[in-house]
Copies of this chain bind each other. A is one copy, B any other.
Amino acid sequence: MDSKQPGRRRFMKRGVALAGLAVSPAGMALAPESASAQARSSGVPDMNSMEYVLYGARSHFVDTVRVLEGPAHHETRGPRPDPYRPGAGTPVKDLIGIITPSSLHFTTQHFYGIPDINPKEHKLTLHGLVERPLVFTMDDLKRFPAVSRVHFLECVGNKNVPRDKNVNDTHGRMACSEWTGVPLSVLLKEAGVKNQATWIVAEGLDGGKHTKSVPMAKVMDDVLVAYGQNGEPVRPDHGYPLRLLVPGFEGIYNVKWLRTIKVVDGPYVGFQENSRFVAPDPRSRDFIYELGPKSVITFPSGEDRLPERGFYAISGLAWSGGGTVRRVEVSTDNGRTWKDAQLQEPVLKRAFTRFHLMWKWNGEETVIQSRCIDDLGQIQPSVAEFAKFWNKSISEIHRTSGSKFGHANFIQPWKVTADGSVQNALEA
């Protein structure tokens, strides 16, 4: 028996003994046509079919899907050129716990299409300022001791603006997964890094050869060459079979479909920096890579409606590119007073952290909001504080792309009106 496919192989051998089952040309057994035809036509396999026994699916009552990019995004970024691969956001409102299901993890495509890579043919080349250039197959990489860590990914475009209606719009470009792979530092040790090496340049196998430079200090700290996501191989839209993981840095650093790493003596300016991401501002954020402390209340949030006055468990997510969430403060009185929310274990470095605060709503209009304090002592700012720091007006901050001035990590306030409806209260 082939140890890599015991289930399917065994099933094929035993298929004859399982009464009433048809084997499709692809080798996957299905329940009789009559029983599962309806289920399959709706995209959900019949729960009692052999297909479902072999590989489960969610209930047909659950229909959460990714969120296609909204008008606010297109206003600042322009329309996407490609109808088949629009960016799609995480349905943050429906998230449970800290793990984002891979099927719902936001995606951003910088170029057309997803490469269809055969893992048996894929190679990672490590070259440049090294003693021994190396080429690794996927099997080679899997022979190193694996490391798994729970980390968030966040796009610099994860920017809340006043016209966003709900938390999927304001914060849909982020997600959190268990990532598994090999520390890049281990591979670099094999290759032998030369003294003058200070950066790496990673390149993907997509149509546009997406590249990104990462400073060596970060590489040696916690960068992974990742082949696993939430217990299975990295999904195609997240870089199958291999991606770079640069925990806490802007999403764009996490090069998907990773094929080469070149060790160099300074940052390269790639297509992304050269076209869309360069800021002329003297306090340019070009070399601020690490995402700041951030949080958002996911319940109650925009477009929710509280049915009555009384007790509610305010719930939300907090994270920081700088490290671990140390504290989350919640205000339920328009920012006059702040209370420590309860952090839900486990609180992991550069990972989503859930927080809760029990709140008794007295039925009057108010504004609720959260702010994150990380273990570096960094405090999430209000949009007014953020604009002041960058010496811009608030409206100018809202008008520009999330990557132009700093990272849009400002507080998201939600107004609860007297009728219980919840609205975006971000200062315009």
A-to-B contact residues, CB < 8 Å? 1, 3-8, 10-11, 14, 18-21, 25-26, 28, 31, 41-43, 47-68, 70, 83-86, 88-89, 91, 93-105, 107, 113-114, 116-119, 143-150, 165-166, 168-169, 178-180, 227-228, 230-233, 235-237, 240-241, 302-304, 312-313, 315, 342, 344-346, 348, 354, 356, 358
* A230 contact set on B, CB distance < 8 A: 97, 99, 101, 230
Give the complex CA separation of A283 and B101 in angstroms.
44
Give the complex CA separation of A61 and B227 in angstroms.
13
25 A-B pairs in the complex with CB atoms less than 8 angstroms apart = A1-B165, A3-B304, A4-B94, A5-B64, A7-B67, A7-B89, A18-B86, A19-B83, A26-B43, A48-B84, A53-B85, A53-B88, A56-B104, A59-B240, A94-B232, A96-B146, A96-B228, A96-B231, A97-B179, A97-B180, A99-B178, A143-B312, A145-B358, A149-B345, A150-B346
* A117 contact set on B, CB distance < 8 A: 61
The listed residue (B5, B7, B56, B65) touching A55 by CB distance below 8 A is: B65
Asked if A84 contacts B50 (CB within 8 A), the reply is: yes
Give the complex CA separation of A259 and B44 in angstroms.
25
Asked if B67 contacts A6 (CB within 8 A), the reply is: yes
Supplied contacts A96-B231, A101-B231, 9 more A-B pairs, CB within 8 Å: A3-B168, A5-B65, A10-B68, A58-B232, A61-B118, A97-B231, A144-B313, A146-B313, A148-B344
* A61 contact set on B, CB distance < 8 A: 117-119, 240-241
The listed residue (B49, B67, B99, B101) touching A84 by CB distance below 8 A is: B49
Give the complex CA separation of A299 and B366 in angstroms.
57
Asked if B11 contacts A48 (CB within 8 A), the reply is: no
* A116 contact set on B, CB distance < 8 A: 47, 59-60
Give the one of A231, A240, A346, A348 with max B CB within 10 A.
Answer: A231
Give the complex CA separation of A60 and B84 in angstroms.
19
* A55 contact set on B, CB distance < 8 A: 65-66, 103-104
Asked if B47 contacts A342 (CB within 8 A), the reply is: no
* A67 contact set on B, CB distance < 8 A: 6-7, 10
Asked if A54 contacts B88 (CB within 8 A), the reply is: yes
Give the complex CA separation of A340 and B118 in angstroms.
37
* A344 contact set on B, CB distance < 8 A: 146-148
Instruction: Give 3 nearest A-B pairs by CB, closest first.
Output: A96-B228, A3-B303, A97-B148
Asked if A6 contacts B91 (CB within 8 A), the reply is: yes
Give the complex CA separation of A358 and B231 in angstroms.
22
Give the complex CA separation of A390 and B379 in angstroms.
58
Within the complex, the shortest CB–CB distance from A78 to chain B, in Å, comes to 15
* A303 contact set on B, CB distance < 8 A: 1, 3
Give the one of A14, A31, A49 with max B CB within 10 A.
Answer: A14
Asked if A166 contacts B6 (CB within 8 A), the reply is: yes
Give the residue name and chain of the B residue nearest to A181 (CB).
Answer: B96
* A302 contact set on B, CB distance < 8 A: 3
* A98 contact set on B, CB distance < 8 A: 148, 178, 231
Asked if B313 contacts A63 (CB within 8 A), the reply is: no
Within the complex, the shortest CB–CB distance from A30 to chain B, in Å, comes to 9
Asked if A237 contacts B47 (CB within 8 A), the reply is: yes
Give the one of A43, A49, A84, A93 with max B CB within 10 A.
Answer: A84
Asked if A65 contacts B57 (CB within 8 A), the reply is: no
* A91 contact set on B, CB distance < 8 A: 6-7
The listed residue (B18, B85, B233, B304) touching A83 by CB distance below 8 A is: B18
The listed residue (B4, B143, B241, B356) touching A145 by CB distance below 8 A is: B356
* A168 contact set on B, CB distance < 8 A: 3, 6-7
Asked if B7 contacts A48 (CB within 8 A), the reply is: no
* A86 contact set on B, CB distance < 8 A: 18, 53
Within the complex, the shortest CB–CB distance from A65 to chain B, in Å, comes to 4
Known contacts A7-B67, A65-B11, A168-B6; A103 and B1 CB within 8 A of each other: no
